[in-house]
Amino acid sequence: MHSFRKAFKDQAPLYVFVAVLFLVGVLFGAMMVNALSLEQQQDIARYLNHFFVNLHEGGPASGQSSFWEIASLHLKWIGLIWILGLSVIGLPGILILDFLKGVLIGFTVGYLVGQYSWSGLLFALVSVAPQNMLMIPIVMMCSVTAIHFSLYMIRNRLLVQRGGSLAKPLMSYAITTGVMALATLAAASFEMWVTPSMMRWVTPMLVQATNLAF
């Protein structure tokens, strides 16, 4: 526990940096909604309207057919961050992934709120927020650990040319990522079995709003 607190304290500036980068991505994603053409807005609206009606009538909540397909999408994201952290040149890629994560969430929430107002916000809270309350901290922790390891490689291998074994820092890096991967399964479980029920609870309001709009 003491070592964990010390590591968190040492990496606190990185957590702040990654969090700010993620928030900038969220804001950028929300602003992208305003950049959509009328045709793009209509295409997305038709897709969502069909999705809401299908969900309201008891259809599947997503295109994913199994728990492992949902989990694999999240695990691939975590795995890519881990691989990028192993190389010095992968450091910018980690930052890009964090920014893109924010953009995806910001665009989704921004569009739902802009198109469906309060009912859209409520749908975003039950469909986007729950699993991302787990996934965002997981991605941030994986990213910070990867950045920290990459910076360690730069300082101790490229700049200073120190000797010594990489086994201990690499093992710590791998263990942290492994624990986060297990936590990812919890987020996937929530997305698979809890989120659809919450979405069906809100969908009638969206179907009604869609009918009024058309």
* DSSP conformation letters of 164-199: S-SHHHHHHHHHHHHHHHHHHHHHHHHHHHTHHHHH
Whether residue 2 is predicted with pLDDT greater than 60 in this model: the reply is: no
Whether residue 214 is predicted with pLDDT greater than 60 in this model: the reply is: no
Query: Who wins on pLDDT, 18 or 51?
Result: 18
Query: Who wins on pLDDT, 1 or 125?
Result: 125
Contact 131, 187 (CB under 8 A): yes
3-class state of residue 154 by DSSP: helix
Average pLDDT, the chain: 86
- Residue of 82, 60, 88 lying closest to 156 (CA atoms): 88
Domain count for the chain, please give it.
1
What are the structure tokens assigned to 100, written together? Answer: 């893109």
User: In the predicted model, what is the mean pLDDT of residues 75-100?
Assistant: 93
Contact 111, 33 (CB under 8 A): yes
Of the pLDDT bands very low, low, confident and very high (cuts 50, 70, 90), residue 10 is: confident
pLDDT at 168: 87
pTM: 0.88
Query: Who wins on pLDDT, 156 or 194?
Result: 194
Contact 2, 10 (CB under 8 A): no
For residue 140, the surrounding DSSP H or E stretch is helix 129-153
Cα 51 from chain centre:
22
pLDDT at 160: 61
Coarse DSSP helix, strand, coil percentages of the chain, rounded to the nearest 5 percent = 90, 0, 10
Q: What angle do CA 75, 135, 153 make, to 5 degrees?
A: 65
Domain extent at residue 52:
2-213
